[in-house]
Chains A and B, each alone.
Chain A
Amino acid sequence: MKIVIRSTVIFFSLLLMACGGKEEKKKEGFSVDREKTKTEKPAEAVAATSTVSPSERVYLENKGVGPIKSVTLSPDIDMALAKKGEETYSQMCMACHRIDKKFIGPAPTGVLKRRSPEWVMNMILNPEVMVKEDPLAKELMAEFNGAPMANQGLTEDQARSILEYFRTLE
């Protein structure tokens, strides 16, 4: 009998718990209050050198992997070419790259302070190989949640015009 009473109490308290709670919680997000296991060791600390995220890191000597071996930039920006580049960029790249904010991929503003022009063009023209063979591109893909850069089938001239456009983004 005692057992019956006890189980009834448990049953109803479970029922109450199930019914309780408001429909919408005001608190944003959620947290899990779970005791951390002690058995697993925390992962090895990442090498101290890479406190700067890959997208912020300056790595100008890397030319990347792809068809572009060397690019010579004239001292002055070719504004007509940059204009063409802007058009192509807004049609082919804007789905994933916003000029001055991190979106699906990194923002291009100031990219030429961090990357060589060759690297930028190779990334545009040869993304599948870059994320496999270029160590920085590999890290970038990890930083951006594994979203691969789409090969948009641009010509070298189109990629060059986009590069010129990037020069205008300081």
Chain B
Amino acid sequence: MKKYSLYLVAILGSVLFLSGCGDQNGKASSNGALASNNAEKVYVAPGEHDEFYAFMSGGYSGNVAVYGLPSGRMFKEIPVFSQFPTNGYGYSEETKPMLETSFGFIPADDSHHPDISQTNGELDGRWLFINGNNTPRIARIDLKTFETAEIIEVPNSAGNHSSSYITENSEYVVAGTRFSVPIPQRDMPIKDYKGNFKGALSFISVEPETGSMDIKFQLIMPGFNYDLSHPGRGKSHGWFFFTTYNTEEANSLLEVNASQNDKDFIAAVNWKKIEEYVENGGGTMVPANYTHNVYSDETHSATSTMKKEVLTVDPTKVPGAIFFMPTPKSPHGVDVNPTGDYIVGNGKLSADLTVFSFDKMIAAIDGKKFDGEAYGLPILKFEDVLAGQVKSGGLGPLHTEFDGQGNAYTTFFISSEVVKWKVGTWEVIDRKPTFYSVGHCMIPGGNSRKPFGKYLVSMNKITKDRYLPTGPELEHSAQLYDISGDKMELIYDFPTHGEPHYAAAIPASILAPKSQKIYKLAENEHPFATKNVSDARIVHDGNEVHVYMAMIRSHFTPDNIEGIKVGDKVYFHITNHEQDFDVPHGFMMIGQKNSGLLIMPGQTKTSVWEPKQEGVWPFYCTDFCSALHQEMQGYVRVSPAKSNIDLSWSLGE
């Protein structure tokens, strides 16, 4: 009996051992040396830096998370469209205006597609743009500070999905609507959608020096769903391409009703032509309500302005500017290769990839070879513009990126794989599984004329069985492939926060030297800044109390405050006097109903506290700053509403 159980253990053990040896890279391998080689490729030793910054959208987190490649380490979460308790974004008085919209204060969104600014088609690392999908907005993040600098709302839009892609000199960032809606919005029967709903494609200009955004014009297109977009490159610079689905203009049970047509369209938009039309006085100014929110690094404050009108363009009024290319079948991603020669459209319900030739498209337009029209816009003949098809054998192709060496990489959602193929010959070179249900893939610079084709990251929707379980919800997984050789190699995967849709990455060597380390106290223009500790004071204004406070390792000035009364509204305006890198200080006050603050060196932030109870209440610093961090605290004495105790404050008395 004893012998028998020993055998059993031995058999079980060897089975476990064997199954442990197979890797999930598609090939069973017990080659330890190879495995450790992969580990070395992603290992970034203590004190060493990653080669790339990857900015991944947070989806329903509304934010952007910054990861290092190849390590997969998350370095920062940048709050964009959502309140962020960590540092008080969207809670502090200075940042609340960033989340203002025509619908009021909106503290959440669904962020989808980040894109890095470019000059001459190459990443310049100045700004990162990202769309808010739900309440249509475009944000600009300053890559010196990794903070959101500006948010512009997009009127006449809904499901701001075909965004926020930029042209090759960052002339425009586009915001295309996924859902068509009545323009202007009005009360009407939903069943009357067809012919009455419209799709707005917004071209937002980017001021070359400051990055400041403004809606230059909105194209009011037929009521299809404009799903994704991509600017032309090189020879196709000046054009923008948008995929559509629901060209049926159905309004219910879209899974079935929006998949009736064998082909939908890629809309090719000659934006230079429309820009010219607008410059010459074309277009119609229409009433609209949308906010423009701008954050200033000088005042450390945001302002929100309501804009009242927007310039719309009827595309039929600009002949030769817009053409439809029939594309099978419910296309999702549209991507242009780095030379700008080819436009790849991926039909979600098609097994093959459709590649159009830009040259053929121009020739067909010049030859006026049209196959009909849709709402007055010419449709090109499929065969006339087709460059080739990639017969992949996969299912559910979504997105394509390029490595700069003539290869393309397409993700397949249904068959959970990345397929590598050759641009021009359309032959499949390699395919690798993903785990599981991959959405976008990303190659650093893959959206530009100069991709850095060393790594590919796939962003997967389903994570089960991949990591330790964390209850019913798992973080999504990103998978890192080494694409420097002929064959892709899956070398690492890591969890990502929120629902990352797309990412943009840039070599650290471009960004790191420009990284801002402190805000100069001398340049602090905040109206409530305390730049000099001798200016620390408290000002009573009705039942508003303004506390001008300074902080430095390891104390607040003042640290004892008396004369606050129940019912007062106390504004703590706190200035961090440090001028040293990486020494933020925190502030939390017992009973504070909004978030705490995290204040950067040289910065001023404001938090409101409304005392409801008499007593002596403490506040303290939340960010460990020195051996005496615990001692960085103070008290506020709160007296009855009618008491006659004078306001007073002190430090060290």
Which residues of A approach B to under 8 Å, CB–CB?
A: 90-92, 94-96, 103-104, 145-148, 150-154
Contact = CB atoms under 8 A, between A and B. Distances in A.
Pairs of residues from A and B, 8 with the lowest C-beta to C-beta distance, nearest first: A153-B579, A95-B552, A152-B579, A146-B627, A151-B580, A94-B533, A95-B533, A95-B577
A91 B583 CA distance: 18
A91 B521 contact: yes
Contacts of B552: 95-96, 150
Nearest to A96: B552
B557 A95 contact: yes
B200 to A, nearest CB: 48
B468 interface: no
B104 interface: no
B626 A152 contact: no
Given A91-B521, A150-B580, A104 B555 contact: yes
Contact of A147 (B521, B534, B580, B626): B626
Contact of A94 (B518, B532, B578): B532
B362 to A, nearest CB: 56
B557 A148 contact: no
Nearest to B628: A147
Contacts of A153: 518, 579-580
B550 A145 contact: no
16 contacts: A90-B534, A91-B531, A95-B533, A95-B552, A95-B557, A96-B552, A103-B652, A104-B554, A146-B628, A147-B626, A148-B553, A151-B580, A152-B577, A152-B579, A152-B580, A153-B580
A127 to B, nearest CB: 9
A91 to B, nearest CB: 5
Contact of A148 (B518, B550, B577, B626): B626
A90 B518 contact: no
Nearest to B522: A91
A148 B624 CA distance: 13
Nearest to B550: A95
Interface in B581-615: 583
Nearest to B536: A95
Interface in B509-562: 518, 521-522, 531-534, 550, 552-555, 557
A95, A96, A148: residue with the most chain B Cβ atoms closer than 10 Å = A95
Contacts of B580: 150-153
A148 B652 contact: no
Contacts of B627: 146-148
Interface string B620-652: 000000111000000000000000000000001
Nearest to B578: A150
A150 to B, nearest CB: 5
Nearest to B652: A103
Interface of B: 518, 521-522, 531-534, 550, 552-555, 557, 577-580, 583, 626-628, 652
A94 B534 contact: yes
A98 B263 CA distance: 77
A153 B516 CA distance: 13
Nearest to A94: B533
Contacts of B532: 90-91, 94
Contacts of A148: 553, 626-627
Contact of B579 (A90, A94, A147, A151): A151
Contacts of B555: 95, 104
Contacts of A94: 532-534
A95 B583 CA distance: 15
Nearest to A90: B532
A146 B631 CA distance: 12
Contact of B521 (A92, A96, A103, A151): A92
A146 B554 CA distance: 10
A145 B577 CA distance: 20
Given A145-B628, A146-B628, A92 B579 contact: yes
Contacts of B579: 92, 150-154
A147 B553 CA distance: 8
A91 B652 CA distance: 19
A91 B552 CA distance: 12
Nearest to A141: B627
A146 B652 CA distance: 17
A150 B578 CA distance: 7
Nearest to B580: A151
A63 B373 CA distance: 84
Nearest to A127: B580
Contacts of A147: 553-554, 626-628
Nearest to A145: B628
Contacts of B578: 150, 152
Contacts of B583: 150
Given A150-B577, A152-B577, 12 more contacts: A91-B521, A91-B531, A92-B579, A94-B533, A95-B533, A95-B552, A95-B577, A96-B552, A146-B628, A150-B578, A150-B580, A153-B518
Contacts of B534: 90, 94
A130 to B, nearest CB: 14
A24 to B, nearest CB: 13
Contacts of A154: 579
B313 to A, nearest CB: 50
A100 to B, nearest CB: 14
Contacts of A96: 552
A82 B82 CA distance: 48
Contacts of A146: 626-628
